[in-house]
Structure 1
Amino acid sequence: MSVIIRHDLSPSEINFIKESQTKIQDALKIHDIHCPENNVPRVALLGSGGGQRAHIGFLGVIRQLGKEDLLDCMLYVAGVSGSTWCMSSLYQDPQWTQNAEEAANKALLSMSEGKGVTFHDGVKWMRQRYAEGDFSLSDVWGVVTCWIKGVSLECQPLHKDGDVASPYPLYSAIEKQIFHKNQQKEMWFEFSPHEVGFLEPGAYVNTSLLKKDFVGGKMIPQPVQRKPMDMVQLQGICGSALADVGQIKKYLKDAFWDWIRSISPVYLTEMKRETNPGQILYILADLKKNYANPECSLSELERLKCLLGKSWADFSPTLKRVEHQSWRGMTDQVKEEHVERIRDELVASVDKWGHGQILTGIPGGDELWVLSHVLPLFFHWEFGTVANFLYKCQDAAIPKDMIQEEQMHLIDAGLYLNSPYPSALREGRCIDLIISFDFSAGDPFLTLRVASKYAVKNGHPFPKVDFTKLDSECPKSYYVFEEMDKPTVIHIPLFNIDNCKDEAAIEKERKEYTTFQSTYRDKTKINHLADLAAENVTMNKGNILSKIKKAVNRRKQQELSNPVLHRKEFNIWTMVTDFCSSFLAIFTWLFNSVKGNKHAKTT
């Protein structure tokens, strides 16, 4: 159980590719594309980040791909940030692709009708994670993400020992410290069902061993056994919101308090504890929504003082000052700032007014635990804390900066590149066609720009893109970039002139579906966005199939010109297999020759 340094694929992934060929062949036959086993094209489906917009958009795309019999033509599906929310839900069911339309519709319906994660189920999961160590805001965000999606906790483990659903799923993150040091060559981190690790140094461990302690490339015993990473944790790492730090903090805090507010106030009121942490927690959450209503907010502030007891003024200086100010005369912005400070001060002083009652089973115990262990994380702002399996690993391929710390911090890859191009460009995968659905905010070609730079920096083949000919304000629904001996790239922006009809409508949709806004719960709004994304598939089905067919023909030509080293797929496993086959053939020939000579002499 050691760290693996290599650039070819894992034996499990290679086996998956071989087993998928027949399925892809059958899927292509539906579209009258016939290819022998050696010419099956490798197609990667990419989903970008974009929060809940990307989640809904990717569900709409996958639903339509299934409906158009295109999904089974894909070998890989890779996601970043919001698109991983979509993937984690679908891959809960190993057979989801057999009825992708139904699976996607179920996930879309959950957002408007699902109950989501209950408060106590979420806290129970977080308590377990806290006991294991390495507890961070990513774990909290993973729970809140499930609530946003309207589903219960998706606790299925990331790793797979048996069959993996097709297409092969790939999730992406980046390592925070390496990113901040501007070592953008080494920072990309990939999760797959079988292996996880850094693409450029080529350093991996078995997926089931992620979170285990390693020293010098070898796993060591650990005092507290950590469970393998599940999909809740994965979403928390991969799918945190994007923007500047201030915007991220506000968005994550607001989403967290919205989840708290989903607790039934009736349940909290029934708690008869004199200083009830549950009621206090709910009031703090409710103030976030009602600060602009003077009657409601003043009433809740007074109730908060009563619950905190006679010493309430010692716990929050801001709450004390409010008593001497004209709350009604404040602007809404000032009120919001006061509420934020009151919340932070009460969190900081929880040990004083909470009386240290943080035991499971005591009424209000979970609520007090959240106040004591979760809310302080927003001050420390620590994400994606995971044991560093490269700690003190001595290998020339691994930069020294990657081996010095016992922990690493995996965060949203969209902070650097908001689409999982690095996974599709990994040399061992030999991808023929990349189909990228972009749900990003702002410039609809930014992911292409960054991917192109990443490819140049890391020596990966990537087709040339003339960005001077791309209209960011009024993009089309389909762009294709192709060049000899390089993967073909299809780029499809979410909002475009074809599904929105004009530039004004594009701008309207962009404003309606921003990354940082309250959780989408309106069924009409959710379905409209999913349908717009699906329309991009319907309109371009013929274009996609024509490029798949071209990839088949290109593979045929490459095989004819170089049947052994077909598209650089020659690796150690191929070499061993070919050597053994050749040796066996020669041995058999010699054996038969000797046997034949002996028979002739006897005769």
Structure 2
Amino acid sequence: MDVLIRQDLCDEEKGYIQKRLQVVGDCLRSHGIVCKPDEVPRVALLGSGGGERAHISFLGVLRQLGQDNLLDCFLYMAGVSGSTWAMSSLYADAHWSKNAKVTTSSVLKSISEGEDMDFSEGVQWLRKRYEEGDLSLSDAWGVMTCVIKGVPLETRTLSDEGSRDRDGANPYPLYSAIDRAFFDKDKAKRKELWFELSPHEAGFTEPGAFVKTSLLKQDFEGGRVKYSLKRKPMDMVQLQGICGNVFGDEKQNQKHILDWIKKSLLPRSQGEAAPLSGVLKIVMALVELVECHHNMDHCHTVLAKLKSVLGEDYGKFSTTLLELDHEMWTDMDDQKRKQHMENIFEELIGSAEEWGQELNNLNNKLTDVWWVIKHILPLFNEWQSGNVANFLYQINEPKVPEEMCKEDTMHLIDAGLFLNSPYPSVLREARDVDIIVSFDFSEDAPFKSLEGAWHYAAANQRAFPDIDFKALNPESDCPKSFYVFEEEGKPTVIHIPLFNIKNGKDEATIKQDWREYATFQMTYRGKKKIDHLADLAAENVNRDGILKEIRKAAERRKAKH
């Protein structure tokens, strides 16, 4: 079968890890920690979610780890959401960690000075996804991620990294997502939820169902690839759209995508000839209709505007709009209003060839905007995200729950909605991790992700140190910068909150930093603001504390042999 059911690691990861352990051993030796090859501690570096705040903070952390000659102490690097944005840019360089200060500084500079990506470039990428047949909102968000980062589209594939990074130069990268179908309120009991992606393999950590990353987008049936439709491997644009979409916050993601459309539309519209202005008003009204669908009163105002700009013939473009009057709207509840609004939107998109025919003949940026209006805006009604062919479709395997095999498409979304730090991937027994160094950039309480990891480990029989969270609660408003949790026979967990008593000095300053760097405050462009956040995060790198725990882990490994 092309689908593999097992808890062991793939041969390619094992080979990479053996080479990486040699690099780690050499680095530890430079710090006075001498280990035999089978005694080298396995240390994992974790970056949490947190949007652009996590993106910039993780870059600041990695820059400082490089300056302190600590990066090569890490065997794995795993990210969720905003931290994956940093990873995706850095791993474009096959040897980035060898000169981390230069590479991270270059990425930080691109954020502060980055210009908006060419709109047409983004639309061309979306058109290709549409032609493959599984376009979703995550793809639009992947394009938006590059806009936020101030970089061109990152179209290299994740599987390409697996074929060229053979010397163990960088920590082995692990990206994280979850399957929306299994995301529910009873999170801790869902064993099938977590989905990880590496350069070599992708799949569910439980029940241990994996495929080669290069095959991830292909159609499957019964555990085998169907080659009737050959798709290109997942590129980093789509990966970022999946790993960092935070589609649990519908309003925020919608706002940024719609703002991007409006920004691309309005400057052009101001210079268009008069006959086109009415059509552009209709287009803008459609964007506004999607934008305000949570506000039913405003929706009615937009519908009235549509009637006006469509003219006397508006009824032939939308029968629902023709039948709708103020009295009917007033008598309906919000659910019926929402349905009417969606019907009108769909009818106007369906009749766009008639009322928007002038746009179809334009060979410029406006035609790209028009394509987005027709193909991306309708996705907001369906709220489809993370569409990927389900490689477990109709597989007959006792270890795979039947409910995972029913649909031919799965929907991968931001893992931060379940657990905002990628603990599940490094807690796999086969990875045999000794130390987890977790930099937490979450906006929630400073121990929420840590507690979520503790619950996940308990529910899924993963080794994890016992933690007294009641004792930690008094420190929630003003946490320390470095926590160590250890228990014999279990991996040591080092937990590092972003804003703390060390870099924030007091509770008032910590609260001010959180207000200044809110999760959905995009896009950061000021160099001073970006540098300040990266520097604050860098202050949290406790070189001596990390090396102390590595020495202890090395002694434990030595005692086993």
TM-score (norm 1): 0.81
1:533 maps to what in 2?
Answer: 537
Distance, in Å, in 2 between the alignment partners of 1:547 and 1:40 is 13
Distance of aligned partners of 1:511 and 1:176 in 2 relative to their CA distance in 1, 3 Å threshold: same
Q: CA deviation at 1:478?
A: 0.4
1:100 maps to what in 2?
Answer: 100
User: Does structure 2 conserve the Cα–Cα contact (< 8 Å) formed by 1:274 and 1:307?
Assistant: no
1:521 aligns with 2:520: no
SS of corresponding position for 1:169: strand
Distance of aligned partners of 1:168 and 1:120 in 2 relative to their CA distance in 1, 3 Å threshold: same
Q: CA deviation at 1:107?
A: 1.5
Counterpart AA for 1:135: L
2:257 maps to what in 1?
Answer: 256
1:204 to 207, 210, 224: 210
Q: CA deviation at 1:283?
A: 8.0
SS of corresponding position for 2:164: coil
Q: CA deviation at 1:151?
A: 0.7
User: Does structure 2 conserve the Cα–Cα contact (< 8 Å) formed by 1:278 and 1:367?
Assistant: no
Report Cα offsets for 1:224-265 as digits up to 9, x if no partner.
Answer: 3211000100111110126xx5xx121011111232244375
User: Does structure 2 conserve the Cα–Cα contact (< 8 Å) formed by 1:275 and 1:307?
Assistant: no
Q: CA deviation at 1:450?
A: 1.0
Q: CA deviation at 1:32?
A: 1.7
Q: CA deviation at 1:29?
A: 2.1
1:228 aligns with 2:233: yes
1:459 maps to what in 2?
Answer: 461
User: Does structure 1 conserve the Cα–Cα contact (< 8 Å) formed by 2:286 and 2:345?
Assistant: no
SS of corresponding position for 1:376: helix
Distance, in Å, in 1 between the alignment partners of 2:185 and 2:361 is 42
1:141 aligns with 2:141: yes
1:56 maps to what in 2?
Answer: 56
1:418 to 411, 420, 424: 420
Distance of aligned partners of 1:23 and 1:522 in 2 relative to their CA distance in 1, 3 Å threshold: same
Q: CA deviation at 1:163?
A: 2.0
TM-score (norm 2): 0.87
2:379 maps to what in 1?
Answer: 377
Counterpart AA for 2:458: V
Counterpart AA for 1:352: S
Q: Where in structure 2 are the equivalents of 1:149-548 lying within 5 Å?
A: 149-159=149-159, 160-163=162-165, 166-180=170-184, 182=186, 184-222=190-228, 224-241=229-246, 245=248, 248-263=249-264, 265-272=266-273, 274-275=275-276, 281=283, 311=313, 349-355=348-354, 362-363=363-364, 364-470=366-472, 471-537=475-541, 540-548=542-550
Distance of aligned partners of 1:404 and 1:265 in 2 relative to their CA distance in 1, 3 Å threshold: closer
Distance, in Å, in 2 between the alignment partners of 1:134 and 1:391 is 16
SS of corresponding position for 1:528: helix
Distance, in Å, in 2 between the alignment partners of 1:342 and 1:397 is 45
Distance of aligned partners of 1:514 and 1:214 in 2 relative to their CA distance in 1, 3 Å threshold: same
Distance of aligned partners of 1:280 and 1:101 in 2 relative to their CA distance in 1, 3 Å threshold: farther
SS of corresponding position for 1:507: helix
Greater radius of gyration (CA): 1
Q: Where in structure 2 are the equivalents of 1:542-561 lying within 5 Å?
A: 542-559=544-561
Tell me the number of residue pairs that the alignment of Structure 1 and Structure 2 aligns: 526
Distance, in Å, in 1 between the alignment partners of 2:462 and 2:509 is 37
Counterpart AA for 1:388: N
Counterpart AA for 1:131: E
1:5 maps to what in 2?
Answer: 5
User: Does structure 1 conserve the Cα–Cα contact (< 8 Å) formed by 2:94 and 2:164?
Assistant: no
Distance, in Å, in 2 between the alignment partners of 1:488 and 1:2 is 36
Q: Where in structure 2 are the equivalents of 1:10-49 lying within 5 Å?
A: 10-49=10-49
User: Does structure 2 conserve the Cα–Cα contact (< 8 Å) formed by 1:240 and 1:412?
Assistant: yes
Counterpart AA for 1:396: P
Gaps of 5+ in 2: 292-301, 327-336
User: Does structure 1 conserve the Cα–Cα contact (< 8 Å) formed by 2:242 and 2:413?
Assistant: yes
Distance of aligned partners of 1:347 and 1:500 in 2 relative to their CA distance in 1, 3 Å threshold: farther
Distance, in Å, in 2 between the alignment partners of 1:79 and 1:273 is 50
Distance, in Å, in 2 between the alignment partners of 1:546 and 1:309 is 74
User: Does structure 2 conserve the Cα–Cα contact (< 8 Å) formed by 1:214 and 1:391?
Assistant: yes
Which structure has more relative contact order (CA 8 Å, sep 6+)? It is 2
Which one is further off, 263-272 or 85-94? 263-272
Q: Percent identity?
A: 53
1:91 aligns with 2:91: yes
